[in-house]
Amino acid sequence: MSRTVKRAFKYRFHPTPEQAGELARTFGCVRLVYDMALAARSEAWTQRRERVTYHATSAMLTGWKKTDELAFLNDVSCVPLQQALRHLQTAFTNFWAKRAGYPTFKSKRRSRRSAEYTASAFRWRDGRLTLAKMSEPLDIVWSRPLRQGAVPSTVTVSQDPAGRWFVSLLCDDRIEHVPASGAVGVDAGLDSLFTLSTGEKVPNPRHEHRDRDRLARAQRNLARKARGSANRARARLAVARVHARIADRRRDHLHKLTTRLVRENQTIVIEDLTVRNMMANHSLARAISDAAWRQFRTMLGYKADWYGRDLVVVDRWFPSTRRCSACGAIADRMPLTVRSWTCRCGRTHDRDVNAARNILAEGLSVTACGGGVRPQRTHVRTGRPPAKQEPPGATQGTPVR
């Protein structure tokens, strides 16, 4: 059994000087059009309480191209400029739906340099990609082959802070559904990056910690350079390359782990961690950022959707660590220094393995009973049922959609 999904394949490429110049101009025009449209929409709302639609900003773009000051917008492909207006419309839609904050302006130095081309703005022939306004195809490094007969529907070209060029090809891809019947609970941590309910512990590679000395030297070298100088530009590039090396290793490790979990298990249960709030702990913020739990959850979400798996997210207040996976009793306190503990029933638990098993049990109860339904618990000291029951749904997990 297979399923067709939209999948992006990202490759590096090496542009010629002419192509690099054309893409740099396109990036600048995309940023300018986005910022001008955002300013126009914000002004219309604050002054006249008027909502400007995508079609209105598209008409504005036509008018801008006819002016002497913005005539240079005609020198680049019009498709990336129109796509920038569509992205702005999507940002406002998410804002109105309360899924995101108010759109912000793009910075020349800090914003992502990218341009999106639809099918009318590129030519794909015999595995060679040629963008609009270019006479030669891109020199793409094919690190992995595309599926036979795959044709890109959208092409996104970008340049990262380290100066590397990337092209992302959005294609229809067939995902073969591999049968799986297992279920696993996953507990996130720092000593071990993830602990599975099977007892397996995934070591924490600590990618940022391994390159911390190299990063510190590059940042000190950058701090000594004069602002605006060519030496500072080279030093900034050196810092960006260290960050890129760390991010690449982290992403590769998470891709391999999430792919294995999805292929081997039909049901995967994780915790709903509030990483943003946890980052307020300045003693652990750097380690939590290096662990990339949010990136892990994002990858697990779309891969579970590809392969037809069930991803269940347990409520963040569920006492997975303090609860005995054997008898259900809950301990009063469990500081981070306690790595193993013994329950009143006599069972000795590894802190992380016990939490993973409890997460799995709660996730399976959510799947079977709709959440909030689990065996009666007893108090760890009195041995009697708690006097006050928790409200229904207090520990309810929600499947990722």
DSSP per-residue string spanning 186-241:
EEE-SSEEEEETTS-EEE---HHHHTHHHHHHHHHHHHTSPTTSHHHHHHHHHHHH
The answer to whether 279 and 289 have CB atoms below 8 angstroms apart is yes
Q: What is the mean pLDDT of residues 230-244?
A: 96
The tokens 């542009």 sit on which residue? 15
**Catalytic residue ranges:** 187, 271, 352
DSSP per-residue string spanning 246-299:
HHHHHHHHHHHHHHHHHHHEEEEEEE---HHHHTT-TTTHHHHHHHTHHHHHHH
Percent of the chain clearing pLDDT 70 (strictly above)? 91
Q: Would you state the pLDDT for residue 370?
A: 60
The C-alpha angle 210, 303, 258, rounded to 5 degrees, equals: 30
Residue type present at position 326: A
Residue 84's CB is within 10 A of a number of other CB atoms, namely 26
pTM of the model: 0.83
Question: CA–CA separation, 174 vs 379, rounded Å?
Answer: 51
The tokens 């996730």 sit on which residue? 363
User: Which sequence spans correspond to the domains of the chain?
Assistant: 2-176, 180-401
The answer to whether 244 and 159 have CB atoms below 8 angstroms apart is no
Residue 313: its H or E element: strand 310-314
pLDDT per residue as tens digits for the range 333-370:
888 888 888 888 888 888 899 999 999 998 888 776 66
The answer to whether 245 and 211 have CB atoms below 8 angstroms apart is yes
Question: CA–CA separation, 283 vs 263, rounded Å?
Answer: 36
Q: What is the mean pLDDT of residues 301-317?
A: 90
Statement: residue 325 has pLDDT above 60: yes
